[in-house]
Amino acid sequence: MNHTPIIICREVRTRLRRPAFWIVPAAAALLVVALYALPFVMTDRSQRQQTVLVVDETGLFDHSFVSTERTAYRDVGSLESARRQLGSGRDIVAIIYIPARDVAIPRDAVLLYRTTPPTAALQAAVANQLQNILRSNILLDAYDISADDYHMLMSTHIQLRTQDIESGREAHLAVRTAVGTTLAALAVLAVLLLSGAVLRGVAEERHSRIAEIMVASTNCRQLLVGKMAGIGLAGLLQFALATTLATGGIVATSALGADRMAQAQAAVPILNTKGAEAVAQLDNAVPATPTQELLQSLAAIDFPLLAAMLLLFTLLGYTAYAAASAAIAASQSDSSQASTWHTIMVIPLVATLLMAPLLAAQPKGALAVALSLFPPTAPAAMLMRLPFGIPLWQVGLSLLLLTATGIGLTLVAATAYRKNLVGGKK
């Protein structure tokens, strides 16, 4: 009789009843949604326009500050007048004071405040405006450069593309590195958490002396496979739950905050009056934004294939590590000792993840190939390399070796379970 489904059912039901089963994915989803919603929230908080008073003793910045939707700049004749106004109304948050110096180009300014310091964003915006006004004045006035030339000079940046000489396809190396690292991190996280759960499950059976009655009732192999499959299934359910919650949260946040995000994107600081005109004229000539480039790069990646590989390598990696964890837990009478051995066991996997930049720099190098074929490091190394496009035989061989390791370790673990938990052989 096959008892595996009964054992799987018990493992899943036991975990479904634990509060942690629901709290962990909910917390993970909340974190993802919070990170996504942060720009909306920040936009919302900064909806009210702030006023910054400008006291310019040099005359170089006279009426040059350009107000945005978030910040209005108002020139004030004297520092004393500005001082009186600061704090008189809620909206006046700071004074930009540019003192007169005996130099052609001023190099310092002070942002004065009363009680509440200005935000980092305001400080950056002011610094940016100061810098740009100074540069544009020098270029436009001192060197008599036209507004068009000035804008072109300021907005031009070189895009270095990496293309396949035959197909002309973009390499998108940075995006591939990020995708590979994310996949590897997900796999490593799943393997660590779930193999730890198997370790604790077996240790519990050993500690509470259930093992003997279990071994008398069923085959050790079925017992172990059932336990590993049950814990794996519960983990998969948690992942699905977290993904669903996070997706729902992101969709809801997007729907609620679409307008605010549009406003936030529209609130791009303008350099100066002449520069603003140039921006308006050259708007269509501006190359793809970083967001557009990112989307183009992501579109070039075969995500369904990567998702399938993530599932496969995570599953096989989990099988191997879970079986080894079960063997450790069965052979150690002290559960803290078992945890120590488990930590030592997962070092190669974690170390491979930490080596992500190295592997991404040379995804087809000898080290990357060796690590992606070596079963203990394969789940991390292979997933890291996959977005770069690697020979099919390497993927096949890696899967084969990982499968063989998983099966072998499961058999070893079943023997260890029976020998160490109750003594003797079955």
Q: Which residue has the tokens 């964003």?
A: 121
Comparing CB distances to another protein, the nearer of 14 and 85 is 14
Strands 110-112 vs 71-75: parallel, antiparallel or unpaired: unpaired
The piece of 174-182, 304-312, 325-333, 417-425 that touches another protein (CB under 8 A) is 417-425
Quote the least distance from Cβ 287 to another protein, whole Å. 60
What is the helix (H) or strand (E) element at residue 370, kind and residue range?
Answer: helix 366-373
User: What is the number of other CB atoms lying within 10 angstroms of the CB of residue 143?
Assistant: 9
Smaller CB separation from another protein, 218 or 243: 218
Judged by CB under 8 A, the residue of 119, 137, 218, 394 near another protein is: 218
Question: What are the CA-CA distances from residue 196 to residues 12, 69, 73, 231 (Å)?
Answer: 16, 52, 58, 10
Does position 19 interact with another protein (CB under 8 A)? The reply is: no
Least Å distance, CB 337 to another protein, is 20
Q: Can you tell me the distance from the alpha carbon of 396 to that of 378, in angstroms, rounded to the nearest whole number?
A: 12
x/- string (CB under 8 A) for another protein, residues 335-354? --------------------
Using CA atoms, how far apart are residues 119 and 46, in angstroms rounded to an integer? Answer: 10
Instruction: Give whichever of 169 and 426 is closer to another protein, judged by the CB atom.
Output: 426
Q: How far is the CB of 424 from another protein (least distance, A)?
A: 4
Q: How far apart are CB 346 and another protein at their closest, in Å?
A: 26
Rule CB under 8 A: is residue 192 a binding residue for another protein? Answer: no
2 neighbors 227 (Cβ within 8 angstroms): no
- State the Cα–Cα distance between residues 320 and 314, nearest whole angstrom: 10
Per CB under 8 A, 16 contacts another protein: no
Report the first-to-last Cα separation within the chain, whole angstroms.
17
DSSP string, 57-108: SSSTTTTT----SSEEEEE-S-HHHHHHHTTTSTTEEEEEEE---SSSS---
Which of 213, 251 has the CB closer to another protein? 213
Q: Does 214 bind another protein (CB under 8 A)?
A: yes
3-state DSSP call for residue 424? coil
Closest to 73 in 3D by CA, of 89, 96, 90, 57: 96
Interaction between residue 58 and another protein (CB under 8 A) = no
CA distance 65 to 77: 15
Question: Are 415 and 388 in contact, with CB atoms under 8 Å apart?
Answer: no
**Using CB under 8 A, which of 178, 186, 215, 350 touches another protein?**
215
Instruction: Please report, for residues 55, 74, 139, the alpha-carbon distance to residue 81 in angstroms, rounded to integers and kept in the order given.
Output: 9, 12, 32
| Residue 285 makes contact with another protein by CB under 8 A | no
Query: Per rule CB under 8 A, is residue 210 in the interface with another protein?
Result: yes
Our CB check for another protein shows the closer of 19 and 89 to be 19
14: contact with another protein by CB under 8 A: yes
Instruction: Choose the stretch contacting another protein; rule: CB under 8 A; options: 10-18, 134-142, 146-154, 158-166.
Output: 10-18
Instruction: Figure out which of the listed residues 44, 108, 164, 204 binds another protein, where binding follows CB under 8 A.
Output: 204
CB closer to another protein, 37 vs 211: 211
Residue closer to another protein, measured from CB, 290 or 424? 424
Of the candidates 176, 227, 385, 418, which one interacts with another protein according to CB under 8 A?
A: 418
- Site residues for another protein per CB under 8 A: 1, 3, 6, 10, 13-14, 204, 208-210, 212-219, 418, 422-426
